[in-house]
Amino acid sequence: MLQAIALFSGTFAVWLLLEQRFTMTALLVAAAASIACVVVTARLPRLGRRTFTQMPKLAAMQAMRAGAALADAIGTVRAAIAADVKLRPALVRVRTRGSDVLGVASLANLIGATPGAVVISSDDEGLLVHVNQEGDERFAHVRDWEALLANGAGERPYDRA
């Protein structure tokens, strides 16, 4: 409780110093912002440690795939400009092996960052993905992406029966 009071007081003081208006409205806004900071900080431990250790790994994976994604996007634009696009759209079910919500969301983020795919929904069985080309080879490595995401978290997604 003492930490919450200190956080509220510090945030309130910093807000007022940055705002430098001491009207009743400014004081109410500062109090609301400070309460919001205390509430968010109180909720952070419930998210789990993995939330904060997974994000740098996800950013690194997306940075490594940036060149391939850019090449795929240029290829898609080139095909659209040439007007010889023969799309075979399909809905594909990607079965996830990990039961972790953060891992499934990270996998959906990686799939959605690939040109030609949009994650439509997620359920207990996996992800429903709309792809522009039914037999697209770019998505053959989704299982490897999931394994890479689970690897740093101490999980082994393929050990489940």
The pLDDT of residue 50: 63
Helix (H, G, I), strand (E, B) or coil at 88: strand
96 and 69 part of one domain: yes
Helices (H), 20-100: 24-47, 49-64, 66-82
| Whether residue 51 has pLDDT greater than 80 | no
150 pLDDT band, cuts 50/70/90, is: low
22 and 56 part of one domain: no
23 and 75 part of one domain: no
83 and 59 part of one domain: yes
Digit-coded pLDDT (tens) for 6-26: 888 888 888 888 888 888 888
66 and 136 part of one domain: yes
The pLDDT of residue 19: 83
- Single out the residue in 11, 30, 47 at which a domain terminates: 47
Helix (H, G, I), strand (E, B) or coil at 148: helix
Asked if residue 133 lies in contact with residue 145, where contact means CB atoms within 8 angstroms, the answer is no
- Total structural domains in the chain? 2
26 and 57 part of one domain: no
Rounded percentage of the chain residues whose pLDDT exceeds 70: 81
Whole-structure pTM over 0.75, yes or no?
A: no
71 and 124 part of one domain: yes
Range of the domain at 63: 49-151
Q: Which of 22-26, 29-33, 49-53, 73-77 has the lowest mean pLDDT?
A: 49-53
The pLDDT of residue 158: 41
